[in-house]
Amino acid sequence: MTLAFGSHMSASGGVDKALARGEELSLESLQLFSKNERQWQASPLDPETVQRFHEEVARTGITKLVVHDSYLINLASPKPDILGKSIPAFADELDRCDILGIPHLVTHPGAHTGSGVEAGIAQFGRSLNEIHASMPESKTVTLLETTAGQGTTLGRTFEEIAAIIDLVDDKSRVGVCLDTCHIFAAGYDYRTPEQYAATMAQFESVIGLDRLKVIHLNDSKQPFGSNKDRHDHIGDGEIGLEGFRQFVNDPRLDGIPGILETEKDNAGENDRRNIATLKGLVAR
């Protein structure tokens, strides 16, 4: 009774290549980019690559799949030029997930860049509703990722995430990705059983645990409440092992993808070590 441990895998050479890389690490879940995360546009997915992707999913048995969208996208932007690029780019991300049969697309809730929190939330809601209306047959669920609260980014509180969800017309098409580093940096502590219970009770009350579909498992290089997004290896940062012990032993989270976004090395040893650490925290 624990999370389905996984990691973000490179899709270099084609999205189908990410599955074999995950298989080498014995992953139960996997996150990837479906295109270059630092470019607005990308070539359409090659049909042969798509076919190989589906074959690799069947062969490896890694079916708990997540895509993270481009870092350039800002659906909360008050700037028409940025919004004019972000909306079609995000629609393309959803379309690629549908083609690949990937159920969840993680996105940051954007940044208001000076327009204010309320205006940013309202714009994000409008953007997502516009995209959904243009893609009524899409099956992929958008997951709003909790953020550390740097600058004017949205999603630093559970209330901000809930406010966006409230504005989405079709709520079956939206969920949440909780990042352990981000919520810690944003001021949610969970390093003791009591603190964890209080934080998760707040999540349940404000958002609802039924909306939690993915967890990003990252320790934090920066201290509690710093609002700085700096990931560290599990147990090496300011959160420490006890914080992660709470997550991996919560039966309510059984089977949810728990995805590492920690620093990579060429041999995959960092991921192996982090996953072994997490598994070692699971109560026997």
Catalytic residue among 108, 112, 156, 211: 108
Under a CB-based contact definition with an 8 Å cutoff, are residues 140 and 174 in contact? no
Is it the case that residue 284 has pLDDT exceeding 90?
Answer: no
How confident is the prediction for the chain on average, in pLDDT? 97
* 28 tagged catalytic: no
Is it the case that residue 41 has pLDDT exceeding 90?
Answer: no
Q: Quick one: pLDDT at residue 282?
A: 98
Q: How far is CA 44 from CA 54, 86, 95, 103, 238, in A?
A: 16, 17, 10, 19, 41
Q: Are strands 219-220 and 231-232 parallel, antiparallel or unpaired?
A: antiparallel
Q: What is the pTM of this model?
A: 0.98
Compute the distance between CA of residue 199 and CA of residue 241 in angstroms, rounded to an integer. Answer: 17
Q: Give residue-wise pLDDT tens across range 227-250.
A: 999 999 999 999 999 999 999 999
Q: Quick one: pLDDT at residue 169?
A: 98
From the centroid of its chain, how far is CA 24?
22
Superfamily of domain 4-280: Divalent-metal-dependent TIM barrel enzymes (3.20.20.150)
Catalytic residue among 191, 211, 216, 245: 216
Q: Give residue-wise pLDDT tens across range 180-213.
A: 999 999 999 999 999 999 999 999 999 999 999 9
* 69 tagged catalytic: no
Which residues, 6 or more positions from 256, have their beta carbon under 8 angstroms from its beta carbon? Answer: 3, 4, 212, 213, 214, 215
Q: What integer is the mean pLDDT of 107-125?
A: 98
Compute the distance between CA of residue 163 and CA of residue 182 in angstroms, rounded to an integer. Answer: 18
Of the chain, the percentage scoring pLDDT greater than 90 comes to 97
Where does residue 133 rank: exposed (0-12), middle (13-18), buried (19+ CB within 10 A)? Answer: exposed
Would the CA dihedral through 69, 80, 164, 138 be positive or negative?
Answer: negative
* 210 tagged catalytic: no
